[in-house]
Structure 1
Amino acid sequence: MSYFIVLDDVWSIDLWEKLKTSLPDENIASRVLITSRFLDVAKAADGGIEPYELRFLNDDESLKLLLQKAFPFREPEVQHHLTDLKDVAKILANKCGGLPLALIVLGSILSTKNRTKNAWKRVNDTLNWHDETANRCSQVLLLSYVDLPYHLKPCFLYLACFPEDYKISTKRAMRMWIAEGFVPKEGEGTINDRAQNYFDELLQRCLVQSTEKSWDGNCKQCVMHDLIRDMAIREAKEENFLTVLSKADDGCHLAFQKIRRATLQYEPPTFKEDDIFLLSFTKVHRATLQYKPPTNFLICSANIRSLLLFGPYKFSNAGFRLLRVLSIEGADFRDYKIIHKGCLEGLTHLRYLGFRYCVLPQQFQFISFNSLKNLETIDFKGTSFDDNWAWYLFRDLCRPIVPNIFYSLWKVPSLRHATFSFFDCPPLPSKEDHLKNIETLKWVSLREIPKLKGNISLRKIGIMTHVSYDSIQQGWQSIKDLLKRTEHMVSLSLRVSHYRLGYVPILSEGTSDLPCHETIQSLYLFGQLASDLCVLNLHMLPTNLTKLTLLGSRIKEDPMSVLERLQCLTVLKLLEHSFMGAKLTCTEGGFPRLQTLKLDSLQNLRHWDIKEGAMPRLTHLEIGQCFQLCALPDLQKVPTLQNLILSTSLHETIEAKDHYKIKHIPSVRTKR
């Protein structure tokens, strides 16, 4: 006798191991179907079969499920109600973000309301996921948190520091975890590997949603669903781990008693520009300010451990003696006098320092980092310095005395990751032992590369070049000399100040003679390729390349004939002015492992031909601002496609005549 058994929501491998011993397997064509929130459970059930991973619902599927729950019985007047309620139903469905559980609970709530537009609008206006009407959803979501291993709970709760719908950088979050001490220093692999395993488990449990993958196949960016984030905030507050404030209390003085950690996502009411609000934390370990109005704040705390600030915030070091993480994003400090040489003094426990997308005064470049003995990460991504000619003159005059801006930063022995903006690359120290432990260095000027003598720890580097046509050979030789000393390099980025003003210093012989030729997996090239010195061919590309980004390369011949032969390539991005021709062709068997492809701002592209059997694993395709492309390729020849993103203009052009090419794709979206 055959049997068919369904085991729903299996939470542990041990349970399956105990059950399978009782199931007869005598070639009687029986089947066992297992559903689980955990990928490792699915793999343990049958390692020879790839588990089927459910995706989040798209807009149409979300609306359909919501209406099924809102109208549990098929009354004759359902169609009449749908005509009136469809618009507000779409708004409610979108709030659930494709999460089936949220849609089911919300649909159940709507089924108890009057079937009128006003009644459903009131639900939209007043719905609070903290309310008892949504308690069923909250309780089910809470199970995912309760079941987390002890070591994952602080990592998960810490993600609530970021604003709602914020795209969280995985690397950034993991470095904050490490700075906080959530990831043990001892264990299998490196500490980065252990942090990555933590993040992978949160992904497997659907507590975060991946929005973009990196070159190594790991999650690059993620978001927390609103419901899950709300649940995390409640649990963090209840456990005195983290308190999130999103609106002002009565008055300007906010005092927190016996709160171990706090995150302030604060949008204050309208006050005078010069008002100063005192935030006094007596026992606060973590805090973040997230708000829109440009207001001055003075934060005083002796015990705060993490401080994340989002928006035009003006920061003052008020004795944060236990601070481990300081991250400020989107602030303008040009007219703020608090930035001075000693503004970071006393932060001896600081491990993560970030000024992302900020505007800083020039004097910040001479700030003292001498007291930051434990600093591991400095993140200045997207940050610029005030373009003040007087400070440039002062800096040049001071070079004989202070040879390097950020000169004290490079003396910190614990520094592992340093990220700067494209156009404000600081000079490197002349002593090679100052950077012997650095693993990530972005961005650094090409003329500074000879100072990296004997450095063998670098894994990721971004080089800003100002290479003219005549100096391509010299520039490439400097890069090769560096790569020969960095056997563990996995990511190489080269860009010029402007793709019309310089050339990428890569020659036709490429990296094939380098020790790191097989280790480089990510290559980013921003700048023109000199056609008579550098022709795109396999010799110039690393053997095991998994991600390639070209921008401003101005390639005239179809590059697909070369790129499709890269056997390990999973991500390919051809961006603005990377290809100047009119036709692209992907042949049978080409791009055997490609999963993500992005074509953007290819102004001359008119035709794209995809042969049968090309790109057999492609799941994500994005086409943007290719104005000459009048028709889509035969995407029905790529049955694996799951996500298609089109520019608005292109979507309007092909919506009718090319619909048959994309009807098999579950998610089709537009992007301006």
Structure 2
Amino acid sequence: MAEAAILAALKVLGEILAKEVGNLAISNISELRSTYANLEVNINNISSELRVMKGFLNEIETDHPSNMSHVAWIKEIQKLANHIEDIVVEFAYLIGNQKFDRISFYVTKLFRKPNLLVNFKRISLQLLEAEKTLKHLAEMKERWVPTTNVRIGKNLDYSNGYSHNVAVAAHFIDEDHLVGIKENRVTLTKWLNFEEPQLYVISVWGMGGVGKTALVTNVFKRERKNFDCHAWVSISQSYAIENILRKIITEISKHEQNLPMDTTNMDLRGLKESLRGILKEMKYVIVLDDMWDPKVFLDIRDTFVDNHRASRIVITSRMAEVANLAPERNRLELKPLLEKESWDLFCRKAFHLEQNHECPHPLEKWARQIAFKCDGLPLALVSIGVMLSLFEKTESEWRRLFDQLSWHLDNNPSLGPLKNILNLSFNYLPRYLKNCFLYCGLFPEDSLLARKKLIRLWIAEGFVEQKGNSTLEEVAEGYLMELIHRSMLQVARKNYFGRVKRCQMHDTLRELAISLCRKENFGLLHENNMLENIDSSTRRLSMIKLKEKIKQDGYLPKLRTFLLVDYDVPSSPLLSIIFDKSRYLTVLDLEGLPIEMVPNAIGDLFNLHYLGLRRTKVKVLPKSIKELQNLQTLDLWCSKIQKLPDGISELKKLRHLFAEVVVDPTYSTFHSIIGISIPKGMFYLKEIQTIQALESNAIAVKELGNLTQLRSFRIRNVKENQSADLCRSLSKMNFLSHLSINASDEKEILQLEGLNLPQLQKLELYGRLKEQMLESPLFQFSGESIQSLILSWSQLQHDPLPSLSHCRNLTFLYLRSAYVGHQLTFQAGWFPKLKCLMLGLMPNLIQMEMEQGTMVSLEELYLWELEQLVDVPVGMKHLVSLKMMFCTEMLVDFGGLAKGNHQLFHFTCVVR
């Protein structure tokens, strides 16, 4: 992980060298020019040294347990790289905030203490010392870390031993020790024996330890007799095609007579021809176990002859990319076991000497908690169960084991196979994903990680690199999907159009992340009320479940990230510690902290990229906020702030602003949320992508057009006479994908007929609409791209569904007080992708009809406060994909009517 620290330092160094600092050269102070010249030389020398060192580290494996001197050397490199990053970040701040014209320079800078010259001299000396330390470390490597002992690049294959051992062990698992595989075994067996003559690929995939090899082994041993020949090959992370082909030939040769046994001297072409000759007339099944790269199969695909004898290739992998080698119908994703199955498997291992593997009653509380921590992962349940079977069966002992479980995962040799299997997944991550994965370990157990927030945090931390014309947010979302596809994160929730909304870490992988965070000095998850036990070199600190004031004994000068989670007490002493001592802070997230003010000293945090004050009681931001020149995200949502200071317009790097005040948490009134007033200068911030939400005024709606990079925008309190200017401004936003507009009150008409946003995906309109609005370009032309639509207080006289049916890609439709008529009809073919429909507060609605073929994908239906609707909608039986119907505040027992109709039993009805 030291290369990550080096990369961070190089990034800042590169930004400094790319800056336009020629103004220094025209200064009349020769000593200042000379000092800067020395700084530039230092920076160039250090950059060159770090680049070479990074290249070296990219080629070697740093986690091999026998290279302890190497690991120690790496830690020293990491520590120095972090120190260099701190130095150059401060230097970047100094040169980015000086004005060097000849007159003002002397007046405003020269006589200020500490002045620029003093700072430059100090930084120059620090860089000089860092350069010396780099050279010393290079010499130290030659003395103590000879490269002959370091495994390099593709020669590294030790890690595959762990996977191979697991694969071998899987072949000897007793049938009655396999739990929770019945359904998957039936599926896999069916695919193997399906009467289709063509050769096809089957993939079984999931996170490490989920039981892929055990399942496939079980089916393979049962079904191989149905094939003329068979082979099982474990693939290494650093593979050689020739070795894979030799292994397949050798495996087949064990069971077949008159086949070539000696392949030692065969080249690639000879191996391929030999294997093709063997397979040409045979029905075969070949298992390629634990494949990490689809290129493996692509390189040998031409070897597998399709002789129309119903041959099969089975691939197991942790990677969705590899699983996609199989057609979609033949991809089997394994999930962790359910709670009952987990308990069964755990007891079979932990209490294998007990009658019927029953858990002794005094141990059940702790045994269940330990099993729960395994989160359904079979390898964890088996490994930990076997370890615990060796301990004394007393309640006090098992309580102690539960408290020490994390330590055992880190240090107990009997859990080595589990740790190694999980480590493989981490070690194989691309270097740009390792930091992102570790960062997820800074959040509490079972946390649901919001996609958008996680992305913004990664960007603030500097983990995300620019790629082509994509925004950093788009690149970061790609990182997130990679971690999901590599089974390092799990999808917890998707939005209605299939995009990941929340994700989470498996508990066992989280323990791995926490361990690595500690080992690599990446960060610390802390649950103590004192800072004194925290190393002063800590870079990232996440504090959770704190119920009392933190003692002020801590000193964290190197701190870059401070996250507060689930904190219940005022903490001005804590903030004083952070502001006074942690001057390099990059991320400060105080969400939910019950503070009422932010210290003016926040302006000293010159490196701050992310400031989170969501759900605090802060009413006013200090004027010093203008000093945060690197700030990218300012999250004030649901705080008490209603106006931003003028200095906010000086934050040129600001990308995301969240600032809404929730005045009615039930969201039942028209003005449940109000926006924020922003100074005029903010309309010239060229990088801003998100504003949620702005209070409208005549100037704002005209100036909005300057914000051409906006992707997500909410504006409130819009008046009818502002509509034309608003439409002109919004039409200049070529990247706008999420738009929310609130009228000034429920009687105000939103005249948006001139608006056309062909890239819009989410649209929310709160206020009266004219009937012709639904025939405007926004719905008729932009409708193809809209996936989520909310119409509230529209008060339309005519059925809006015929016009809205042009929005064929809608997956979410919310109509609240949108229609004052008597009947809604959903015709055949309408809304083919709609998954959620919400209808409420339509007092005149008497009848609803669903024709056969309408809303064929609908899964959820919400109905509330429909006073005149006294019968089940006609044709509801046609909604064959419906899973849930929610009825709230209906005058009749609508749920009972639905349940009483035997044709509607295919979905669940919930009445509130």
TM-score, structure 2 as length reference: 0.56
- Name the counterpart of 2:625: 369
Corresponding letter in the other structure for 2:780 = H
Post-superposition offset of 1:288:
2.5
Quickly say closer, same or farther: Cα 1:16–1:456, change in 2 above 3 A. same
Q: Give 1:264's match in structure 2, choosing from 525, 535, 542.
A: 542
Does the Cα contact within 8 Å between 1:588 and 1:614 map onto a contact in 2?
yes
- Name the counterpart of 1:179: 460
- Name the counterpart of 2:789: 548
Post-superposition offset of 1:325:
1.4
CA–CA distance in structure 1, aligned partners of residues 803 and 638 of structure 2:
33
Corresponding letter in the other structure for 2:790 = T
How does 1:21-100 map onto structure 2 within 5 Å?
21-43=302-324, 45-46=325-326, 49=328, 52=331, 54=333, 56=335, 61-64=338-341, 66-67=343-344, 70=347
Does the Cα contact within 8 Å between 2:446 and 2:507 map onto a contact in 1?
yes
Query: Is residue 2:696 matched to residue 1:449?
Result: no
Post-superposition offset of 1:543:
3.2
Quickly say closer, same or farther: Cα 1:645–1:280, change in 2 above 3 A. farther
- Name the counterpart of 2:579: 317
C-alpha distance after superposition, 1:100-139 (max 9, x if no partner):
66667688789999999x9999799769455458776555
Post-superposition offset of 1:154:
0.4
**SS state at 2:510 partner:** helix
Corresponding letter in the other structure for 1:450 = K
- Name the counterpart of 1:166: 447
Does the Cα contact within 8 Å between 1:65 and 1:104 map onto a contact in 2?
no
Post-superposition offset of 1:202:
0.9
When structure 1 is superposed on structure 2, of 148-157 and 602-611 the one drifting more is: 602-611
C-alpha distance after superposition, 1:407-428 (max 9, x if no partner):
1111222222222115563434
Q: Report how many aligned residue pairs link the two structures.
A: 605
Query: Is residue 2:588 matched to residue 1:326?
Result: yes
Q: Give 2:504's match in structure 1, choosing from 213, 219, 223.
A: 223
C-alpha distance after superposition, 1:307-335 (max 9, x if no partner):
xxxxxx8886214321111221012323x
C-alpha distance after superposition, 1:180-210 (max 9, x if no partner):
1111235563322221211110111232233
Post-superposition offset of 1:442:
1.6
- Name the counterpart of 1:400: none
When structure 1 is superposed on structure 2, of 104-113 and 290-299 the one drifting more is: 104-113
- Name the counterpart of 1:381: 637
Post-superposition offset of 1:475:
3.1
- Name the counterpart of 1:399: none
Quickly say closer, same or farther: Cα 1:262–1:440, change in 2 above 3 A. closer
Does the Cα contact within 8 Å between 1:163 and 1:265 map onto a contact in 2?
no
- Name the counterpart of 2:675: 425
- Name the counterpart of 1:505: 750
- Name the counterpart of 2:609: 351
Query: Is residue 2:690 matched to residue 1:440?
Result: yes
When structure 1 is superposed on structure 2, of 275-284 and 415-424 the one drifting more is: 275-284
How does 1:110-121 map onto structure 2 within 5 Å?
none
Corresponding letter in the other structure for 1:294 = V
CA–CA distance in structure 2, aligned partners of residues 445 and 413 of structure 1:
21
1 or 2, which has the higher strand percentage?
Answer: 1
Query: Is residue 2:691 matched to residue 1:413?
Result: no
How does 1:393-404 map onto structure 2 within 5 Å?
none
Post-superposition offset of 1:441:
1.6
Query: Is residue 2:567 matched to residue 1:292?
Result: yes
Corresponding letter in the other structure for 1:443 = A
**SS state at 1:358 partner:** coil
Does the Cα contact within 8 Å between 1:244 and 1:265 map onto a contact in 2?
yes
**SS state at 1:211 partner:** strand
Does the Cα contact within 8 Å between 2:872 and 2:898 map onto a contact in 1?
no
Quickly say closer, same or farther: Cα 1:202–1:615, change in 2 above 3 A. farther
- Name the counterpart of 1:483: 730
CA–CA distance in structure 2, aligned partners of residues 506 and 612 of structure 1:
35
C-alpha distance after superposition, 1:285-316 (max 9, x if no partner):
333333433143534xxxxxxxxxxxxx8886
- Name the counterpart of 2:808: 567
**SS state at 1:161 partner:** coil
**SS state at 1:384 partner:** coil
Post-superposition offset of 1:83:
14
Tell me how large the CA RMSD over aligned residues is.
Answer: 4.9
Post-superposition offset of 1:243:
1.2
When structure 1 is superposed on structure 2, of 188-197 and 321-330 the one drifting more is: 188-197
C-alpha distance after superposition, 1:619-639 (max 9, x if no partner):
x53647679798799888667
CA–CA distance in structure 2, aligned partners of residues 441 and 50 of structure 1:
43
CA–CA distance in structure 1, aligned partners of residues 629 and 566 of structure 2:
31
Post-superposition offset of 1:653:
5.4
Percentage identity across aligned positions? 24
Does the Cα contact within 8 Å between 1:348 and 1:371 map onto a contact in 2?
yes
Quickly say closer, same or farther: Cα 1:261–1:345, change in 2 above 3 A. same
Q: Give 1:465's match in structure 2, choosing from 717, 720, 732.
A: 717
Quickly say closer, same or farther: Cα 1:622–1:260, change in 2 above 3 A. farther
CA–CA distance in structure 2, aligned partners of residues 626 and 91 of structure 1:
43
Quickly say closer, same or farther: Cα 1:344–1:283, change in 2 above 3 A. closer
1 or 2, which has the higher helix percentage?
Answer: 2
Corresponding letter in the other structure for 2:649 = W
Does the Cα contact within 8 Å between 2:774 and 2:803 map onto a contact in 1?
no
Corresponding letter in the other structure for 1:343 = A
Does the Cα contact within 8 Å between 2:370 and 2:402 map onto a contact in 1?
no
- Name the counterpart of 1:392: none
Query: Is residue 2:833 matched to residue 1:593?
Result: yes
Quickly say closer, same or farther: Cα 1:201–1:67, change in 2 above 3 A. same
CA–CA distance in structure 2, aligned partners of residues 384 and 617 of structure 1:
41
Post-superposition offset of 1:533:
6.2
Corresponding letter in the other structure for 1:333 = I
**SS state at 1:444 partner:** strand
CA–CA distance in structure 1, aligned partners of residues 710 and 535 of structure 2:
45
CA–CA distance in structure 1, aligned partners of residues 377 and 340 of structure 2:
11
Does the Cα contact within 8 Å between 1:255 and 1:281 map onto a contact in 2?
no
CA–CA distance in structure 2, aligned partners of residues 356 and 552 of structure 1:
28
Does the Cα contact within 8 Å between 1:466 and 1:502 map onto a contact in 2?
no
Post-superposition offset of 1:79:
13
CA–CA distance in structure 1, aligned partners of residues 320 and 842 of structure 2:
42
Quickly say closer, same or farther: Cα 1:283–1:485, change in 2 above 3 A. closer
- Name the counterpart of 2:427: 146
Unaligned runs of 5+ in 1: 300-312, 387-403
**SS state at 1:494 partner:** strand
Does the Cα contact within 8 Å between 1:421 and 1:443 map onto a contact in 2?
yes
Post-superposition offset of 1:482:
0.8
**SS state at 1:567 partner:** coil
Quickly say closer, same or farther: Cα 1:111–1:503, change in 2 above 3 A. farther
Post-superposition offset of 1:3:
2.9
Does the Cα contact within 8 Å between 2:654 and 2:687 map onto a contact in 1?
yes
Unaligned runs of 5+ in 2: 1-281, 662-672
Corresponding letter in the other structure for 1:192 = E
Quickly say closer, same or farther: Cα 1:280–1:647, change in 2 above 3 A. farther
- Name the counterpart of 2:760: 520
